[in-house]
């Protein structure tokens, strides 16, 4: 009876990993009794090797059926066996599902009468959920037992739908009512609503990350709130965050005329030609919106980059000063490169409720900036006020000390990064900051990096006068290798998960991977949706004609939510079909 229970548990375990489909060509077939009929190649000879499932409460074992064992001339799908006698299954088909795992030669508890092999459960993973007729090109590529149990939310950049999938790549829920591509981030709220930015292609264009509109949909895809925030002088872009009080903070660009740019002390010889040609620059600011449902909202707080400039080019301007002496201010010379119109190019915003602080990923400077949200709007324009007494000046900055004349190229750590955010309380690395470090100017590779800010328990940051903000280096880094390279020159993101894994979106190729703290890839998925809708399995995502090295299945960012996330309480989470289509 005990053995039967263990067998049932094992079958349920593998069936929960992914629902079955059609038999997979090229796989070893596993019988309903879990018997393995193996063709094994060992030391130049080929053997028929039947293994009988023999479970024990210490693990999953298979025993050699000596009556059926023997040398044969040849066989199908033979497994090479080394001197350690381990069987390494790259694909074993059980009821239409393919699994990979390793059986190690091992002693069976209290039985020395036969030869046994024990499954190494850490190697057990799904290799494919159904027969696509061709090699896999999109959708689920790997689902290892070490992957964090949860649901992944993503919005294909070139289309209008938003998907929530399980670890097997099956659709658990989707929202299709929006008429807009994402602009750019999407979030699942605790009440089960989808908060979605939208690309509206308005009158003002940043040249990347455009938005202009926010929509909120309930679980049943009904629009419950909408806000248009785009005119010919300002536009929401890239990212938003919901605050504990229900307000929304968001990134916005504002138009400054060429006359205003020169009046602010910018060196015209250090501006890219498009600023003079278009007669404007587009610096960033931050807005807090109090929603007025079902339509619109009220601006209740704002912070502007423009209010905190310093420059040492034009001595007659009011903001003239010694840049190196004021790391709390923003150098109008940027990082010493010629500045584009979309100068700051902020691409993510995050909020720390314990400190009441906002983190801004500033791609144009290769930095993260942290500002005080406890200020009033009036204080945010000045240099005093708020809990920290610094008004809207930067409390902290990190990633590229050249941007405030406190370092050289060798000190630079961020290279036009995306998605700087705090690791949440209770998670491994809590209070640290992670980002997707795109890597422009560093080499053809991206990385996901984590560092520990120089901050105390009360949210106060330390800085030795005349030096750069610490730390000097990262505390953790993941980057691809020759087998699994990772490079996205733009978009992308990373999120720390409760079990210490990190889910990564290498956005330009629509690639999602989940890695352990040791850098092992335990889940892999390729977005199967382009501008025309779901792709057919076996077809490659088309190249983006407008962007070199980017494909049309690109995704700005993904988030993974645990199975006990409040949004899922009382919801039907039954998995449906896969996102991608199958060949007939």
pLDDT-based confidence at 127, cuts 50/70/90? low
pLDDT tens, residue by residue, 281-319: 999 999 999 999 999 999 999 999 999 999 999 999 999
Query: For residues 352 and 361, what is the distance between their CA atoms, to the nearest angstrom?
Result: 14
CATH of domain 139-568: 2.130.10.10
Global confidence as pTM: 0.81
pLDDT at 56 over 70: yes
Most confident range, picked from 13-27, 112-126, 449-463? 449-463
For residue 166, give the nearest of 582, 577, 581 by alpha carbon: 577
pLDDT tens, residue by residue, 200-215: 988 898 888 899 999 9
pLDDT-based confidence at 584, cuts 50/70/90? low
Buried (b) or exposed (e) across 494-513, using 16+ Cβ within 10 A?
Answer: bbbbebebbbbbbbbbbbbb
Helices then strands (H, E): number in the chain? 4, 40
On average, the pLDDT of the chain sits at: 91
Q: What is the DSSP letter of 467?
A: S
pLDDT-based confidence at 75, cuts 50/70/90? confident
Q: How many other CB atoms sit within 10 Å of the CB of residue 171?
A: 14
Domain map (residue ranges) of the chain: 2-128, 139-568
Q: Is the peptide bond before 131 cis (omega within 30 degrees of 0)?
A: no
Q: How far does CA 111 lie from the centroid of its chain?
A: 48
For residue 344, give the nearest of 253, 250, 421 by alpha carbon: 253
80-94, 106-120, 347-361: range with lowest mean pLDDT:
80-94
pLDDT tens, residue by residue, 499-525: 999 999 999 999 999 999 999 999 999
* C-beta separation of 116 from 64 below 8 A: yes
For residue 344, give the nearest of 304, 302, 317, 384 by alpha carbon: 304
Q: What is the DSSP letter of 61?
A: E
The pLDDT value recorded for residue 206 is: 87
For residue 553, give the nearest of 501, 488, 457 by alpha carbon: 488
């Amino acid at each position: 009876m005990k053995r039967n229970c263990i067998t049932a548990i094992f079958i349920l375990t593998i069936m929960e990993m992914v629902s079955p489909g059609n038999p997979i060509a090229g796989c070893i077939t596993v019988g309903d009794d879990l018997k393995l009929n193996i063709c094994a190649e060992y030391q130049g000879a080929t053997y028929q090797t039947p293994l009988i499932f023999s479970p024990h409460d210490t693990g999953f074992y298979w025993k050699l059926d000596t009556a059926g064992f023997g040398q044969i001339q040849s066989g199908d799908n033979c497994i090479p066996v080394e001197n350690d006698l381990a069987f390494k299954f790259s694909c074993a088909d059980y009821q239409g599902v393919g699994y990979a795992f390793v059986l190690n030669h091992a002693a069976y508890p209290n039985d020395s009468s036969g030869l046994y092999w024990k499954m190494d459960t850490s190697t057990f993973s799904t290799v494919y959920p159904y027969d696509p007729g061709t090699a896999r090109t999109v959708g689920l590529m790997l689902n290892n037992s070490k992957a964090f149990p949860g649901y992944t939310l993503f919005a294909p950049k070139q289309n209008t739908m938003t998907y929530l999938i399980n670890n097997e790549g099956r659709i658990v829920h989707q929202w299709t009512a929006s008429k807009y591509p994402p602009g750019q981030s999407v979030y699942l709220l605790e009440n089960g609503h989808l908060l979605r930015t939208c690309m509206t292609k308005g009158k003002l264009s940043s040249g990347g990350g455009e938005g202009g509109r926010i929509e909120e949909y309930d679980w049943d895809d009904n629009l419950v709130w909408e806000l248009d925030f785009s005119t010919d002088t300002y536009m929401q872009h890239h990212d938003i965050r919901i605050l504990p009080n229900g307000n929304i903070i968001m990134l916005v660009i504002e138009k400054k005329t060429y006359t205003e740019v020169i009046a602010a002390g910018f060196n015209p010889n250090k501006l890219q030609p498009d600023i003079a040609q278009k007669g404007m620059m587009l610096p960033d600011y931050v807005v807090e919106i109090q929603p007025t449902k079902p339509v619109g909202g009220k601006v209740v707080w704002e912070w502007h980059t423009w209010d905190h400039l310093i420059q040492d080019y034009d001595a007659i301007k009011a903001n003239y000063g010694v840049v190196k002496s004021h790391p709390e201010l923003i150098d109008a010379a940027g990082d010493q490169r010629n500045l584009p119109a979309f100068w700051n190019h902020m691409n993510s915003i995050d909020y720390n409720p314990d400190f009441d602080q906002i983190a801004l990923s500033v791609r144009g400077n290769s930095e993260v900036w942290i500002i005080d949200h406890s200020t009033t709007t009036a204080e945010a324009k000045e240099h005093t006020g708020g809990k920290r007494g610094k008004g809207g000046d930067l409390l902290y900055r990190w990633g590229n000390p050249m941007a405030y004349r406190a370092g050289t190229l060798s000190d630079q750590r961020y290279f036009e990064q995306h998605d700087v955010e705090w690791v949440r309380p209770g998670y491994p690395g809590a209070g640290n900051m992670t980002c997707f470090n795109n890597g422009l100017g560093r080499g053809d590779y991206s990385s996901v990096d984590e560092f520990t800010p120089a901050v105390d328990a009360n949210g106060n940051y330390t800085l030795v006068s005349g030096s750069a903000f610490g730390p000097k280096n990262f505390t953790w880094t993941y980057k691809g290798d020759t087998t699994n390279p990772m490079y996205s020159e733009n978009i992308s993101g990373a999120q720390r998960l409760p079990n210490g894994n990190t889910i990564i979106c290498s956005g330009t190729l629509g690639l999602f991977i989940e890695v352990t703290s040791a850098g092992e890839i335990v889940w892999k998925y390729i977005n199967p949706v382009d501008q025309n809708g779901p792709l057919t399995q076996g077809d490659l995502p088309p190249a983006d004609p407008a962007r070199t090295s980017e494909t049309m299945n690109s995704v700005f960012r993904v988030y993974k939510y645990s199975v006990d996330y409040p949004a899922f309480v009382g919801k039907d989470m039954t998995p449906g079909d896969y996102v991608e289509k199958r060949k007939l």
